Each structure stands twice: as C-alpha cells, then as structure tokens.
Amino acid sequence: MKMFWVKSSVCAAIGMIAAVCFAQAPGGGQGAAPFVTHQLKPNVYWVEGGGGNSTVIVGDNGVIVIDAKVSKAGGAELLEDIAKITPKPVTTVIETHSDGDHVNGVAAFPAGLTIIAQENNKKEQDAALAAGGRGAPPADRQPNKLITQPHESMTIDGETLEFYHWAPAHTSGDLVVYLPKEKIVATGDIVATSNPYPRIHDEKHGSTAGWIATVQGMLTLDADTFIPGHGSIQTKADIQKRLSDAVARRDKVIALTKEGKSLDEIKAAVGDNDKLNYKSWTEVVYEENKK
C-alpha cells in the first residue's frame, strides 16, 4: 500500500499558524486532521478521516464512492481530494449502512447521482428523516437504487461490483461491497477497529447472529484487502480473529445468561469493562438471550 497523498502535512511539519490548517480541513471540523488518501490499486483508493472510511473507485468515465463522510463539509473535502486523483466526475455513491458518519457527506455531492443502498438502509433513512433533528440524512440525496437480493452483481463504468447482504448485522441494512478483480472488500461498520468487538445497533434491528453470518460470508470471498468502516486496512487473518473472538465471547455470554447471571456478573466474567457510549457486544448478546 502506497501513501498517495498527504494533505497539508506542512502544517504539522513546520507548525504553521493553526488557522491555516483549519482552513485546509473543513470536513473534520476545527483542528481535525485532513483526510489522507491511500492508493490501494491503480484505480482504487481508501480515503481516511472525517468520519467513516471512504473507498474511491475510478471507472472508465466517472467515479464510484463508497461512503461519503459525516457532514456536508466532509463530503466537500472528499470531493476535493478526489479531484486531485482524477478529473472524472463522481457519478455513483454506495452507502454501506445508514449511520450519519457514512451518509451525511453526500449532501455536498452533485445532484443526479446514483445512490446505491440496501433496501433496509433506505427505510432507516426514511425513519430518520421523519424523526428530523440533528444528524438526519440529506432529504435530497436519498438512495435511489436499492439492493433487494442477498447478492447482486453490477458493472458500473467498467468496474465489476458485487453487493452482499447476508443478514441484519451492524444495522438492518448493511451492504458489503466486493471488488472481485482487485480482491478488495469494503466492509462498512461490520468491521471497525475502534473496538475489538463488534458494534450492533439494536435500535436499527442489527443482530449478533447476523453479524456472525455476515463475517462468515465475507470470509468466503476471494479477497485479501478489507477496508473497514473505521480504522486501517485489515487482512483476512485479522477478520478471522475478530470473528473468533466475537463468537467466543458470545457463546460465553449466552451460557452465563442461561445460568441466570446478571449483566454485571456476566460483564465481569468475560472481562467487558469498556466504557462505550453505546451497548457493548456483551450487552446486546445478553439482551437477545435473556428471555
């Protein structure tokens, strides 16, 4: 993997006044690090920073983007970074799931895009729009090409893309994107390296069994590079370890739940002492099995 582009590294290197650096990093908010573009294959890039990871695929005539950052400013910064790679226009966005840090940046993208998402992702965005408030997805950049089958294949701009939805996992509408020619998988938040255990949005009808089925499915793909929703590139061995760890903890939590142990007792027994602002893997497994 070659580091392709490091934007405004001079800021850090020579300690230029902060305001200049802020001006160059509109997407991540004040003082946030600028995005970093990594070239993975001749026409495939991973853009790090500003919310979830983005994958950029340069096709024959246009550009395909997987996940669009957390805010309109982040989406605009992503477009600026893409313009440094290629003069071709962004024509297609793929959303791996409905969380705002992967979706909301699409507000900065041009009108008339094809926006691909799993059908349940669209339902989740509909619900978020109806609820309104901060963090709602952009109403005028909603998914307009829905994946309804467990596996669909498409050729877009000369690039073959395979879409997989094995089960509700991180959310009800996860979409795993596989590039067979490049042996790359964009996992969305099925994999996020910020925590060794998976995050399940039970409020979006995610499921721990579905997460396991999804990762088992991903491991059957002929791929060697996994671009996670957050964090650095993962190998197949990394994904396998994440799966084994999650299955082992889940089995233990289910066994202890069946013995009638309390959540606190179970967390202590399995060593879950992470301070998270969301339900941990242990907590979701416990709730799925306590009745």
Q: What are phi and psi of 103, to 5 degrees?
A: -115, -40
Report the nearest approach of Zn ion to the CB of residue 94 (Å): 15
67 binds Zn ion (CB under 5 A): no
Question: Which of 63, 211 has the CB closer to Zn ion?
Answer: 211
Q: Which is nearer to Zn ion, 124 or 189 (CB)?
A: 189
Tokens of 95: 């959303």
Tokens 């050729």, residue located: 155
Beta bridge mates, 246:
none
Distance separating alpha carbons of residues 40 and 225, to the nearest angstrom: 9
Q: How far is the CB of 196 from Zn ion (least distance, A)?
A: 16
Please, which residue, 190 or 266, has the CB nearer to Zn ion?
A: 190
For residue 206, the minimal CB distance to Zn ion (Å) is: 9
Q: Which of residues 90-129 bind Zn ion (CB under 5 A)?
A: 99
Question: Which part of the chain contacts Zn ion (CB under 5 A), choosing from 70-78, 86-94, 189-197, 211-219?
Answer: 189-197
Give min distance, CB of 17 to Zn ion, in A.
35
Please, what's the largest Cα pairwise distance for the chain?
A: 61
**Judged by CB under 5 A, which stretch of 118-126, 186-194, 218-226, 235-243 contacts Zn ion?**
186-194
Give how many residues touch Zn ion by CB under 5 A. Answer: 2
Contact 246, 205 (CB under 8 A): no
- Written as six digits, the tokens of 73 are 């400013």
CA-to-CA distance for 16 and 150, rounded, in angstroms? 50
Q: Say whether 56 sits in a helix, a strand or coil.
A: strand
Figure out which of the listed residues 189, 217, 221, 243 binds Zn ion, where binding follows CB under 5 A.
189
Minimum distance from residue 189 beta carbon to Zn ion (Å): 3
Tokens 């497994």 identify what position?
285
Distance in angstroms (rounded) separating the CA atoms of residues 14 and 75: 27
Instruction: For the segment 233-262, give every residue that binds Zn ion (CB under 5 A).
Output: none
Residues in touch with Zn ion (CB under 5 A): 99, 189
